[in-house]
Amino acid sequence: MRRRWHSPGNALTGSVRVWILVALLVGATPLAAAPPGGRGAGVSAPLPSDRARVTVVRNTHEYLTVHSDQGTSLRGGAAFAYKTGRIQGKTKYLTDPGYYERMRANGLNAVRLVCFDAYQKSRDHRHTDFSDPKDLGDLLAETDAVVDLASRAGMYVVVNYHDVGGYDKEYIGKFWDVMATRYAKRTHVLYELMNEPVKWFPEHYTDENLADVEALYRRVRRAAPDTHLVLLTFANTASYKPDVSMRTVAERLTKTGQGIDWGNASVGFHTYQTKKTSKPIVDLVMHFPAINTEQNLPNNEGSVPMDGEEFGVQTMERLGLGWFHWHTHGPERFEKNYLGRVLPDAKAKGYLWKFDKQQAPAKWRGRSGPRQ
């Protein structure tokens, strides 16, 4: 998401109908204090087309990562859901089955559902008010559609709370109180709890940040005991302190509070400032499962290619790690950036992956939304 880094000296700067309305969310609570099950959110019932849950594995390089039910890496595009986008007509594609079918037919098996209201709120733009049943209902109509349509296309969904360089404790708690319960029974859904929560490098994760991550992990885990959770989500893989890395931050998180069960969780990272090397990623995945949840285009918005390979997807494929590509949300960006650049590069340079097998399509069973 735009500029993620500065020079080392400046590193510290930087409405569709729904089946039920959600009960009012009252007051702010500490990250760890919410009751299991959230506050009134409905539960989205599984569909026959939902893929089985992902698993943490060591790949052929002995690196820890996350695999699909077919033993493949997660390879994803993007979809944005947020109030300003709905008002401006930018999210209409979310309810188009063909959008997901086209992604699936062109080698993707997952979509990152970027819930963008948090970014809007922190920039004083219009955003979903979780205390307003209509606002929340409109958001859930979109997220329900993504979860169901992706399922029918044979894809996974990573629900992503998306701010950049920070997080609002009250707002993120209300978001996950709803989402964690709502999709807990959908086996093809993963949760990415935060997006780039710290400005901007591994050395800037404080003990307080890690306590917040662990508390939110615990809060969401109570509501969704079987869902894979993506944690930390580093903006940059590089560090400017020799004794600090993504791995050492994950080690500190493991020792925070009650710790983390890495058997059903992973570390998220983004390849913006990489110092042109994948070494910090390899160091991380030798010890912790990880996914690249935001791979940008080469030299775009501060994204630095690694190991002499122009496209970060090539690096991820060589390492056997999952990835989700940025700037692929919506039909136009998907056409221009994925079909027009990423996929042709993979074909031309010989790193095109084997696509997941197509599953028999499930019959459409009513409208998207939670079932009582």
Question: Positive or negative CA dihedral for 37, 50, 367, 84?
Answer: positive
Residues 6+ apart with CB under 8 A from 224: 180, 181, 183, 184, 191
Kindly tell me if the per-residue pLDDT of 3 is higher than 90: no
The Cα 25–Cα 175 span in angstroms is 10
Q: Summarize the confidence of residues 129-143 as an average pLDDT.
A: 95
Residues 6+ apart with CB under 8 A from 298: 305, 310, 311, 312
Superfamily of structural domain 28-349: Glycosidases (3.20.20.80)
The Cα 219–Cα 177 span in angstroms is 8
- The string of pLDDT tens digits covering residues 324-345 is 999 999 999 999 999 999 999 9
pLDDT at 126: 93
* φ, ψ of residue 127 in degrees (nearest 5): -155, 165
Query: pLDDT class for 308, splitting at 50, 70, 90?
Result: very high
pLDDT at 24: 31
For residue 269, the cross-strand partners are 234, 292
Kindly tell me if the per-residue pLDDT of 38 is higher than 90: no
The Cα 290–Cα 74 span in angstroms is 11
Query: pLDDT class for 358, splitting at 50, 70, 90?
Result: confident
- The string of pLDDT tens digits covering residues 216-239 is 999 999 999 999 999 999 999 999
The Cα 138–Cα 369 span in angstroms is 11
Of residues 79, 112, 76, 4, the one with CA closest to residue 321: 76
- The string of pLDDT tens digits covering residues 39-85 is 345 899 999 999 999 999 999 999 999 999 999 999 999 999 999 99
pLDDT at 211: 98
Average pLDDT, the chain: 88
Q: Summarize the confidence of residues 348-364 as an average pLDDT.
A: 79
- The radius of gyration computed from the CA coordinates of the chain, to the nearest angstrom, equals 19
pLDDT more than 90, % of the chain: 84
Kindly tell me if the per-residue pLDDT of 368 is higher than 60: no
User: With 0-12 CB in 10 A as exposed, 13-18 as middle and 19+ as buried, what is 104?
Assistant: buried
* Helical spans, DSSP H, in 183-272: 207-223, 246-254
The Cα 311–Cα 298 span in angstroms is 6
pLDDT at 14: 37
CA dihedral angle for residue 173, residue 178, residue 179, residue 184, rounded to 10 degrees: 120
Q: Summarize the confidence of residues 85-95 as an average pLDDT.
A: 96
Q: Which two tokens stand for residue 60?
A: 């052929």
Query: pLDDT class for 302, splitting at 50, 70, 90?
Result: confident
- The string of pLDDT tens digits covering residues 157-174 is 999 999 999 999 999 999
pLDDT at 268: 98
Q: For the chain, give every domain's residue range.
A: 28-349
